[in-house]
Amino acid sequence: MNSDRQHVTQLLQKWGSGDKEAIDQLMPIVYDQLHKLALNCLRSERREHTLRATALVHEAYLRLVESDVTFQDRVHFYAVSARILRRILVDYARSQNRQKRGGEFDKIPLDDAVLVGPQADHGIVELDEAMQRLAAQDRRKSDLIELLFFGGLTYDEAAEALKISPATVHRELTLAKAWLHRELSGGAA
């Protein structure tokens, strides 16, 4: 497993150095993990959601290839991938909401939005807006939520990506979830 991690990091570095063949070698290796990330993201959507994991991964792939990001390592790649997957879902939900008429948004708790799933497309939009407000107040907490819930990283991987201890991950995650819960429940604690 560790050699796979090193291999991914080496391919990312080659890709960053301009080796176009590295991306062709990289994608088959990371595709399964990207697909798992996409499934995790879609788990928070309603069952009849029309965007599927494979389409989400393919769109993320296109955005990753077109990005100007120089990936530091495997964890950084998955962190950026998580952000891209989230952005695609938000853009998709917003486009779907524009097609609907009227209706107010329901407030939903973070755990429901991320783990159980909202019953409407706008849940991800509301969560994204709350995440943006959190990022304005505390970027690291916002990044932590993104890495763990959208990126599917472990506590240790998130700690490594943010250069903090796993204990700090736990403490900050507790505070971030409480803050987001308050935001998504309309300020009621």
pLDDT band of residue 140 (cuts 50, 70, 90) is very high
> In the 8-state DSSP scheme, what is residue 113?
I
Contacts of 180 (CB under 8 A, 6+ apart): 110, 127, 130, 131, 134, 145
pLDDT band of residue 99 (cuts 50, 70, 90) is low
User: pLDDT tens, 57-77?
Assistant: 888 888 888 888 888 888 888
* Global confidence as pTM: 0.65
User: pLDDT tens, 162-171?
Assistant: 899 999 999 9
Cβ atoms of 151 and 143 closer than 8 Å:
no
Answer whether residue 101 shows pLDDT above 90: no
User: Shortest CA distance to 79 belongs to which of 114, 30, 25, 16?
Assistant: 30
